[in-house]
Structure 1
Amino acid sequence: MQGPQARVAVVIPAFNEEETVGGVVAAARTLTPEVVVASDGSSDGTARAAREAGARVVELTENAGKGPALKAALEATDAEYVVMLDADLVGLTREHLERLLAPVVAGELDMAIGVFEGGSFASDWGNKLTPHLSGQRACRRDWLLGVPHLGEERWPEPPITHHLKTTGARWDYVELGQVRQVLKETKRGFWRGARARTKMYADLLTYRRRRKRGERGDS
């Protein structure tokens, strides 16, 4: 897939994902040696685990959010195409990455968005309810860097979705069979995980309202 005209990097924003980030990096490196992990102010061994797995690591000093971490990872490479991955995936293979990337490199899509299928009930269910919030994507790097407010929002998926719609970009969903995410409730304990999930969805679902308010200059 990667000829001289198709340089690809995998970019992985990560916050306290030392248990899984190494496996994600290892899978990514079956596609390309250029894997960049942005550790978003992690307080655990995320950066170490990513380096040991072969990634280049950018370390943010504070937990600024997935959006700033994603932008930092994008700025650490000049590859033509990027595959964006979450750091808490399980079951990822080269075949999944090639399936996600192929329609973009072929010029058929501006962005491919990965959705889970058959990984686990909880992971599949959440992903299918809100597929537009998936963190698994492939596109041209310059397109992604052109998304307004990408590095300002804690979660980058809403501004990416808005940019897809307003620019008339060609995009579609790609099934990623047998891939799942480790749920926040599993990683952090039920109540802490549930609070983190609630806050995440509150941020995600209020994006447009907050941006409109900001454009008007409302307090």
Structure 2
Amino acid sequence: MSPETMTEVPRVAVVIPAYNEQETVGDVVRVALQLTPEVIVVSDGSGDRTAEEARAAGAQVIDQRENTGKGPALYAGLQAAQAPWIVLLDADLVGLTITHLDALVKPVLGGELDMAIGVFSDGRFMTDFGNRMTPHLSGQRAARRAWLLSVPRLAQERWPEPAITYALKNDRVKWGYVELPRLSQVMKEEKRGFWKGVKYRTRMYLDLLTFRRRRKRQDVAD
């Protein structure tokens, strides 16, 4: 194969798990493409135009028929990616810029951190507050693809952040928080209506809080 026909693998890929995020996913993809040509959206059984909007914006789309959760969707995106470094983004971000992405990847590419975790600041009060209260649940991250794929139970957990946090501590990985000013996201109560959003959020936190119990059961089974 001649050098002219060889395709260079990007250094960084962006993986975006998405479930019914047709209103925002296109904007997130367009900003991600300013960082790298390898942008992968995993539509996790979406019933709207999430896959179509992501594809129209220029992303590679994995369109899963069933809604299996963020963890399995994230794992599918990681398997499809080729770049050695990964940026993880939520699909419902509002106000995302290339400056935010540069801030996330700089410390990991420079060797200062093994994982950078983004936290909101100076955005919307409620999203800032929630992100500050539980920064370990942030969906905005940068890390090595190989390490992310090695996280135990990543592909089984509907919400993968506790599994990633456990692996960070267990593997003694060097990690830190990076401020993402004037960035926010659409709250679940806004997307699904107040009561449906509250119900969805409650289920999410119950699932997150029971991670340790599920992990212990799996350890015993193994």
What TM-score, normalized to structure 1?
A: 0.96
2:114 maps to amino acid:
D
2:100 maps to amino acid:
H
Name the residue aligned to 1:179. 183
Q: Per the alignment, do residues 26 and 5 of structure 1 end up closer, same or farther by CA in structure 2, a change over 3 Å counting?
A: closer
Percent identity between the aligned chains? 63
Name the residue aligned to 2:21. 17
Runs of 5+ consecutive residues of structure 2 not aligned to the other structure: 1-7
| 3-state SS in 2 of match to 1:98 | helix
C-alpha separation between the residues in 2 aligned to 1:211 and 1:60? 26
- How big is the alpha-carbon RMSD for the aligned residues of Structure 1 and Structure 2? 1.1
Following superposition, which runs of at least 4 residues in structure 1 exceed 4 angstroms of deviation?
A: none
Deviation at 1:119, TM superposition (A): 1.0
| 3-state SS in 1 of match to 2:217 | helix
Count of matched residue pairs: 214
Alignment partner for residue 211 of structure 2, among 202, 207, 213? 207
What TM-score, normalized to structure 2?
A: 0.94
| 3-state SS in 2 of match to 1:113 | strand
| 2:101 matches 1:97 | yes
C-alpha separation between the residues in 1 aligned to 2:137 and 2:45? 22
1:112 maps to amino acid:
A
Deviation track 1:2-58 (CA, whole Å, cap 9, x = no partner) reads xx8971100000000000000100111111111000000001000000001100000
* Conserved? CA contact 2:10–2:82, under 8 Å: no
Name the residue aligned to 2:86. 82
| 2:74 matches 1:70 | yes
1:118 maps to amino acid:
D
Q: Per the alignment, do residues 6 and 58 of structure 1 end up closer, same or farther by CA in structure 2, a change over 3 Å counting?
A: closer
| 3-state SS in 2 of match to 1:148 | coil
2:159 maps to amino acid:
W
